[in-house]
Amino acid sequence: MAFVITELCRDEKAAVCLDVCPVNCIVLTDTQYVINPDICIDCGACELVCPVEAIYFEDDLPTEYNSATLLALNHFRN
């Protein structure tokens, strides 16, 4: 997984990230948008346009948002 959308997205859901993602790897769950790590090409376009700065490169993810990684992984688990 390269990029992670945190719970900062839950109230915003501006979806600007959907418009810029070249591979359509971002989907809406019951609570927020998540990035499919198997499809993401690590371009970072979503991170640049997020109006609430809810998207982080996984290595830069603050520890208080670690649950966001689990949310995405669980959502896309086969």
- CATH number of the domain to which 29 belongs: 3.30.70.20
Give CA–CA dist 53/15, Å, rounded: 12
Which helix (H) or strand (E) segment holds residue 20: the answer is helix 16-20
Give CA–CA dist 58/69, Å, rounded: 8
Q: In terms of residue numbers, what domain contains 18?
A: 3-76
Write b or e for each residue in 43-57: b if 16 or more Cβ atoms lie within 10 A of its Cβ, otherwise e.
Answer: eebbbeebeeebbbe
Calculate the average pLDDT of the chain: 92
* Chain segment 16-54, per-residue pLDDT in tens: 999 999 999 999 998 899 999 999 999 999 999 999 999
- Tally the domains of the chain: 1
Q: What is the pLDDT of residue 77?
A: 86
Tokens 């997984």 map to which residue?
1
Confidence of residue 60 (pLDDT cuts 50, 70, 90): very high
Q: What is the pLDDT of residue 1?
A: 61
Give CA–CA dist 71/33, Å, rounded: 10
